[in-house]
Amino acid sequence: MRFDIISCQPDLLDSPFSHSILKRAQQKGLAEIHIHDLRKYAVNKHGQIDDYAFGGGAGMVMMIEPIDKCISELQAERKYDAIIYMTPDGQTLNQGIVNQFSLLENVIILCGHYKGVDERVRQHYVTHEISIGDYVLSGGELGAAVLADAIIRIIPGVLNDESSALTDSFQDGLLAPPVYTRPAEYKGMQVPDILMSGDTPKIEQWRFEQAIERTKQRRPDLLNEE
């Protein structure tokens, strides 16, 4: 799966894709990450990509021309299944959306900045608008990294044990149950006996019951979703 991420702060994206699972996914050829500096498509030699908002008001707006040039150049090379704009007023990201995106082949992620992009970009170029929560960041780069991470880790072959992703929180509409590892006892704190019983059906039933209980306590809204 190929990700083309358009940013006016590309250096912010160096670290997230250079380590751990995301790095291995690229090494395996299962994911391609390409970062594009929007300032290379600036409207003048000063690297301008933003301007004042028509009608006045505080904050700068990302201009349509540099974004159009960048997207058009990418689209001339291949077909894209989605152009995703990271914005606080977009659809809140959840596991269902991630699962749908993971079935695509080529996506563009546009990182917002300043007061956002010229509305014409949203009207004529963007196919999906995604938010990672009800708060505002300095730019869309961290949100883009979150989105890409969530998608890449469930691409078949990325994780050594693919069943690990299938048992994550939210995949079945529940939070994940508690997990334990060695030692079985530490300073009087014991691992539940059932987990060391070797009885797989009973262990799975215990995990299911724990997942339901944890979801009731922490995210009851998930149980109310149809």
Residue 131 lies in a domain: yes
pLDDT (tens digit per residue) in 19-29: 999 999 999 99
The pLDDT confidence band at residue 202, using thresholds 50, 70 and 90, is very high
Is residue 160 included in any domain, yes or no? no
We report the CATH number of the domain holding residue 218 as 1.10.1270.20
- For 133-158, give one letter per residue: b (16+ CB within 10 A) or e: eeeeeebbbbbbbbbbbbbbbbbeeb
Of 152, 182, 202, the residue at which a domain comes to its end is 152
Please tell me the predicted confidence (pLDDT) of residue 224.
85
Residues 199 and 126 in one domain: no
Are 26 and 137 found together in one domain? yes
CA distances from 89 to 86, 122, 136 (A): 9, 12, 9
> Is 116 a member of any domain?
yes
Average of per-residue pLDDT across 116-133: 97
Percent of the chain with pLDDT over 70: 97
Residue 88 CA, chain-centre distance (Å), reads 14
- Note whether residue 159 is domain-resident: no
| Residue list for the binding site for S-adenosyl-L-methionine | 112, 132-137
* Residue 81 DSSP symbol: S
Q: What would the pLDDT profile of 27-70 be if each residue is shown by its tens digit?
A: 999 999 999 999 999 999 999 999 999 999 999 999 999 999 99
Please write the tens of the pLDDT for every residue from 138-177.
999 999 999 999 999 999 999 987 667 767 767 888 999 9
Whole domain around residue 78: which residue ranges? 2-152
- Work out the burial of residue 188: count CB atoms within 10 Å of its CB; fewer than 13 is exposed, 13-18 middle, 19 or more buried: exposed
Residues 48 and 147 in one domain: yes
Q: Of 190, 150, 188, 143, nearest to 170 (Cα)?
A: 150
For β-strands 189-190 and 106-111, DSSP reports them as unpaired
Residue 158 lies in a domain: no
CATH code at position 60? 3.40.1280.10
Higher pLDDT, 163 or 107: 107
Domain edge (last residue) among 118, 152, 186: 152
Total domain count, the chain:
2
Is pLDDT at 226 greater than 70 in this prediction?
Answer: no
From the CA atom positions of the chain, what is the Rg in Å? 21
Helix, strand or coil, per DSSP, at residue 96: helix
Provide the annotated binding site: 112, 132-137
pTM of the model: 0.90
Whole-angstrom distance between the N-terminal and C-terminal Cα of the chain?
31
Stretch 5-15: mean pLDDT, rounded?
96
Chain mean pLDDT for the chain? 95
